[in-house]
Amino acid sequence: MASSLFEKAYFRIAGDCGLLVEYGDAIDPAVNQKVRSMAIVVQNNMPDGVREIIPTYRSILIYYDPLITNPAMLKETLTDLESGLSEIKIPPPKVVEIPVCYGGDYGPDIEHVAQSHNLTLQEVIDLHSEPEYLIYMVGFTPGFPFLGGLPEVLHTPRLKTPRTLVPRGSVGIANGQTGVYPIASPGGWQLIGRTPISLFSPERSSPILYQAGDRIRFKPTSPSDYQRLSDMEDS
């Protein structure tokens, strides 16, 4: 299979104070590793005028002060930084296990997912909880992990009409992605389960339990265990 990693980065203007740097054209672990490596390099050698960097699936969005720098200067600096990329060591991933109660009120769309692929509910649960998912990026809402590695047999389109409110902790599927809603919010993903664990809590020293590059495993749990864990979270 041909690599989706570009031979060289593409630089695109993103408004009057943003520069988008693209490293590939698909959701691909090699592309994402390049993004995370470059994010570390830029963070450790922050160019003058750069205010914020946002790594995504396949690109980095750089916000800068236009009174201090400009896209041409940033492109030159980033190209120089990329030459030292081979020396960067990405920290080993942390594996976070997330308990999930599948189906019922916790996963109102699991039957639709099962019927769409001629699967039983248990087969959906087994297939979804088997992989160790790579966190490609964190975004949308605080702590929302966009996960790659969903078995192809579970790929299911988003809802035609999004929900105005998705409960906190809901686990969803959207096409070839899966993820978890850390806070209650609108959303259009197919909901198949829910976790009682608080994935985002601003009161913690580390508000989010993971970061891009870490991995997530889903552990099926019963309604009674869900309630027990939920009570522990609230205490």
For the chain, give every domain's residue range: 5-87, 95-234
Tokens for 223, please give them: 């309604």
Each of the 235 residues of the chain gets a pLDDT tens digit; together they read 456 788 788 999 999 999 999 999 888 898 999 999 999 899 888 999 999 999 999 999 999 999 999 999 999 999 988 887 777 777 788 999 999 999 999 999 999 999 999 999 999 999 999 999 999 999 999 999 999 999 999 999 999 999 999 999 999 999 999 999 999 999 999 999 999 999 999 988 889 999 999 999 999 999 999 999 999 987 7
Give the pTM. 0.88
Sole residue written with tokens 């047999």: 153
pLDDT at 2: 54
CA atoms of 201 and 86, how far apart (whole Å): 35
pLDDT at 1: 46
CATH of region 95-234, choose from 2.40.100.10, 3.40.605.10, 2.60.120.10, 3.30.70.100: 2.40.100.10
pLDDT at 103: 98
Is 5-87's fold the same as 95-234's? no
Q: Could you report how far apart the first and last alpha carbons of the chain are, in Å? A: 50
pLDDT at 27: 86
38 with 21: CB under 8 angstroms?
yes
226 with 194: CB under 8 angstroms?
yes
Q: Domain 5-87 adopts which CATH fold? A: Gyrase A; domain 2 (3.30.1360)
DSSP codes joined into one string, the chain: ----EEEEEEEEE-TTSEEEEEEESS--HHHHHHHHHHHHHHHHT--TTEEEEEE-SSEEEEEE-TTT--HHHHHHHHHHHHTTGGG--PPPPPEEEEEEEESTTT-TTHHHHHHHTT--HHHHHHHHHSS-EEEEEE-SSTT-EEEE---GGG-BPPPSS-EEEE-TTEEEEEBTEEEE-SS-EEE-SEEEEE--S-SB-TTSSSSBS--TT-EEEEEE--HHHHHHHHHHHH-
pLDDT at 7: 77
58 with 28: CB under 8 angstroms?
yes
